[in-house]
Amino acid sequence: MTDAETLAKRVREDDLRLHELEDHAEPDVAAEARRLLLEAETDADLETVGEYGFDAADAEANIENMIGAAQVPMGVCGPVGIDGGAADGEYYLPLATTEGALLASVNRGLSVIDSAGGATARVTKSGMTRAPVFRVDGVAEAAETVEWVEDNFETLREAAESTTSHGELLGVEPYVVGDSVYLRFAYDTKDAMGMNMATIATGAACDVVEEETPASLVALSGNLCSDKKPAAVNAVEGRGRSVTADVVIPGEIVEERLHTTAEGIAEANTRKNLIGSAKAGSLGFNAHAANVVGAAFLATGQDEAQVVEGANAITTMDTREGEDRATDLYASVSLASLEVGTVGGGTKLPTQAEALEVMGLRGGGDPAGANADALAEVIAVGALAGELSLLAALSSRHLASAHEELGR
């Protein structure tokens, strides 16, 4: 009997619990034991789940009760030229997805953008947030708490930054609702996505608030952050990185490569992404930004649940007077709350680290934060390409035929 079989038998006999297996064997053996247990109890065949290309020990910080890996096909789009605040040059964009035709569409958009001279991109705001909620007796104590917070920012910053060698507290925005006080802390987390960093730092600051004010902490997260949920506050104030990418595409390229016109794409954007989204009460005014954000997140080891905020984007398409007979197209996408990092979390996993290496953005940047800024700009350009390609397909009425041709 192998070590894995012995461990599986001990779990079946209630001698061990699933989460205790790594205390008795190497991580890969523990994962094998769980597969054996599941195969015996469910009649499932987990042979493919157990075929993964990294040591299970590499994933101990990312998963509990590991049985193997879910393998998502990864492709690449590009290259495309980017003139960014941090990204500068030609970039390939790795994307992991199970949606057929997505990479073909994004690649088409990137090719058109590159033919137009490349895209411009900038991170316009940066700050990871955590918003605890406190209880007070009423509005008088709420006002007292807010006044203390506003007068003692340096005290809060000292407490918060004592927990990290990288994070910097940028600001604290108070909100009062009856006898509840919310404090929205915002941090510069450099090249880390920074959610854990912000949480730990805010916990230390909350201790000071409780000591110095009448407020009592109820929850370290009061949902005004707002993490992994659709929220207008992120659309307005931003979270993580707010990033915009744009391009001007000559009218002749629009007609020759996208088989439509600048006027047609602009009208489709207005009626679909702006008016249609407004009628639907959407927080995102875009065609499918989540497609590129989600695929890029899976490829590069980001927190996949934060695609919710990453899809909080507005796409604009306008006509510009061109030098030739055809009207040029101005296209942009602005992502208000793109939460990305190049260090920590899933970025350390071998497959995801390799995807970051494709872009030259693995690990910390110089200066600190530069790599995460560049990643945000590259993803924004990818999202712009996806918007451009889909709107062109809709405008030219080629969407259905394109999917049919690719067999999707």
Tens digit of pLDDT for each residue in 153-188?
Answer: 999 999 999 999 889 999 999 999 999 999 999 999
E strands, 228-320, are 240-249, 313-320
Tens digit of pLDDT for each residue in 357-405?
Answer: 999 999 999 999 999 999 999 999 999 999 999 999 999 876 544 444 5
Catalytic hit among 114, 227, 246, 303? 303
pLDDT the model gives residue 324: 64
Omega cis (within 30) before 165: no
Alpha-carbon span 289 to 295, nearest angstrom? 10
Is 403 known to be catalytic?
Answer: yes
In a domain, 169, yes or no: yes
Is 303 known to be catalytic?
Answer: yes
Q: List the structure tokens of 54.
A: 């990294």
* 46/138 same-domain check: no
Nearest CA among 330, 296, 332, 333 for reference residue 312? 333
pLDDT the model gives residue 1: 60
* 47/117 same-domain check: no
* 329/249 same-domain check: yes
Catalytic hit among 24, 259, 398, 403? 403
- With H, G, I as helix, E, B as strand and everything else as coil, classify residue 285: strand
Nearest CA among 215, 193, 190 for reference residue 132? 215
Catalytic hit among 99, 144, 173, 267? 99
Look up the CATH number of the domain holding residue 357: 3.90.770.10
**Residue 77 reports pLDDT greater than 90:** yes
End-of-domain residue from the set 152, 186, 219: 219
Q: What is the DSSP letter of 327?
A: P
Percent of the chain with pLDDT over 70: 96
Is 3 known to be catalytic?
Answer: no
pLDDT the model gives residue 326: 74
**Residue 249 reports pLDDT greater than 60:** yes
State the CB neighbour count (10 A cutoff) for residue 2: 11
Look up the CATH number of the domain holding residue 197: 3.30.70.420
In a domain, 6, yes or no: no
pLDDT the model gives residue 322: 72
* 113/193 same-domain check: no
Domain housing 143: 132-219
In a domain, 22, yes or no: no
* 108/137 same-domain check: no
Task: Record the pTM.
Answer: 0.94
pLDDT the model gives residue 400: 42
In a domain, 9, yes or no: no
Partner residues linked to 76 by β-bridges: 94
Please state the rounded mean pLDDT for residues 6-22: 93
* 62/94 same-domain check: no
Tens digit of pLDDT for each residue in 31-61?
Answer: 999 999 999 999 999 999 999 999 999 999 9
Tens digit of pLDDT for each residue in 291-336?
Answer: 999 999 999 999 999 999 999 999 999 999 877 667 999 999 999 9
Tens digit of pLDDT for each residue in 252-272?
Answer: 999 999 999 999 999 999 999
In a domain, 45, yes or no: yes
* 113/150 same-domain check: no
Please state the rounded mean pLDDT for residues 106-113: 98
* 143/252 same-domain check: no
CA-based end-to-end distance of the chain:
46
Partner residues linked to 133 by β-bridges: 182, 219
**Residue 226 reports pLDDT greater than 60:** yes
* 43/174 same-domain check: no
pLDDT the model gives residue 408: 54
In a domain, 394, yes or no: yes
In a domain, 4, yes or no: no
Q: How many CA atoms lie within 13 A of 235 on its CB side?
A: 14
pLDDT the model gives residue 115: 97
Q: How far is CA 256 from the centre of its chain?
A: 34
Per the structure, how many domains does the chain have?
3
Give a three-class secondary structure readout of 69-96. CCCCCEEEEEEEEEEECCCEEEEEEEEE
Q: Are 249 and 116 in contact (CB under 8 A)?
A: yes
* 64/85 same-domain check: no
* 85/215 same-domain check: no
* 86/112 same-domain check: yes
Tens digit of pLDDT for each residue in 120-139?
Answer: 999 999 999 999 999 999 99
**Residue 348 reports pLDDT greater than 60:** yes
In a domain, 268, yes or no: yes
Percent of the chain with pLDDT over 90: 94
pLDDT the model gives residue 261: 95
